[in-house]
Amino acid sequence: MTVLILGLLVFLGLHSVRIVADDWRTAMRARLGENGWKGLYSVVSLAGFGLIIWGYSLARQQPVVVWSPPAFMAHIAAPLMVLAFILLAAAYVPGNGIKARLHHPMTLAVKVWALAHLLANGTLHDIILFGSFLVWSVLLLRAARKRDAATGAVYAPGKRGATLATAVVGFGASVLFAHWLHLMLIGVKPF
């Protein structure tokens, strides 16, 4: 469990710099240059992510069951995951109405992903992993909305075609992941 927690501290700590120390982040970007900052950020992110994966796989070998979710929770988690994938697609498909309306679909995708997994899993390592990401995404979304309000950020309106494409891509990716990739990458078949 220690490796998992260390990975979460490194990964989420780095991804929280904009929440808790935006001025320091700006100063570091200026000092290191844009590419230097991105390089350092990427290396530390990958190290934290690697520790999360390693720590999670170690924790899964000796699970501590905190609660046993009822079977119907999987039926609640499934549509939430479809929504999470659509929100994730909205972060990347240009000109879609979802991003225009919600402004921060990637952060919302993480929030919904974490919530869905908390509902469907009851082991200590799942609660630590998904609970950490849920708390982080709530704090990040709040900070992003405050920043938008302070700067008067305006988001371009979305187009119907791009919004439809976003929904189709997100839904397709969720089906692909749930039926094939989740088992291959995570070792768990969701259904």
Q: Are 103 and 155 in contact (CB under 8 A)?
A: yes
In angstroms, the CA 90 to CA 55 distance is 30
Predicted confidence (pLDDT) at residue 191 exceeds the cutoff of 80: no
pLDDT band at 154 (very low <50, low <70, confident <90, very high): confident
pLDDT band at 156 (very low <50, low <70, confident <90, very high): confident
Residue at 165: amino acid letter: A
Q: Could you tell me which residues are beta bridge partners of residue 65?
A: 123
Q: Please give the structure tokens belonging to residue 115.
A: 């919530």
Bridge partners of 159? 96
Averaged over 61-77, what is the pLDDT?
A: 94
pLDDT value at 184 more than 90: no
188 pLDDT more than 90: no
pLDDT category at 91 given cuts 50, 70, 90 is very high
Mean pLDDT value across residues 137-166: 93
Mean pLDDT over all residues of the chain?
95
pLDDT of 129 strictly over 90: yes
